[in-house]
Amino acid sequence: MNLPDGWLSGKVALVTGASRGLGREIALALGRAGADVAVTDLLIESETLSKTDAEAHGLLTAHFSETASVRTLSTAEEIQKMGVRSIGIKLDVADPDGIRTAVSEVYERFGRIDILVNNAGVMDNMALMDKHTDRMWERDIGINLTGTYNCIKTVWPYMKKARWGRIINVSSFVGLSGAYAQPGYGAAKAGIIGLSRSMALEGARDKITVNAVLPGFIETEALMLHDPGMLDRIRSRIALKRLGKPGEVASVIVFLSSESAGYITGAAIPVTGGADLFVF
């Protein structure tokens, strides 16, 4: 989807989980569309996350915390070069106090918050039920679902005051199909769809739209950690026989952030290449 430059001029967006992968591409796409962007993530270049804290947020966080894939601040700098404003902020979606501090900073810097993209999440917990631990269940729900709730709750008063807002929650097609050996992840992503629809009902009176986007298998740094054989099997079960590009999800989110999507709310939109279809 080729969207016109400046489509979101004058709008301010906050994106969670934006240091790499899908979140980073969403932040860049919003900047290209003319929005000012707060790029937020648990990981930022100027801080070293302790091993204990990194592992508490999952194996992927622990892995990427020690790599050059952490690009929260550099993504903000890249967006600034597009001629719009941007800042990089450390934000843990499981920490309500930290979210309030970050959102206050964004509001003080930019004077408004029009768009919230809840992208932060974890997906590395794989265990059948008889080996699933309560701690990992609570982590999956706490970051993926409660983290989304925390961010919505914090920006909601700003959007109500402005009587305009766009909230896009990144769920997954497994929120509808289920996820083998990932009960916490599947439940959280299904919960995001229900949360989005409930908040769409509540937000309608204040012209706040709330939608969920359901990506399939997207070519991010995390997915590409799988061995080539597994990636081949994944491609074979997708109707289009390829992985999705982060930009193909980001363009949908930019559209949902715009005035042109003002009559879309409570939707759960798959961006899967047909991975959610029955494929022989």
- 165/145 Cα distance (integer angstroms): 20
Amino acid residing at 78: E
- Backbone dihedral angles phi then psi of residue 50, each to the nearest 5 degrees: -65, 155
Contact 119, 26 (CB under 8 A): yes
Which DSSP symbol is given to 267?
-
Strands 115-118 and 86-90: unpaired
What pairs with residue 33 in β-bridges?
Answer: none
Unique residue bearing structure tokens 């990981």: 43
Which residues are part of the catalytic machinery? 185
What pairs with residue 166 in β-bridges?
Answer: 115, 209
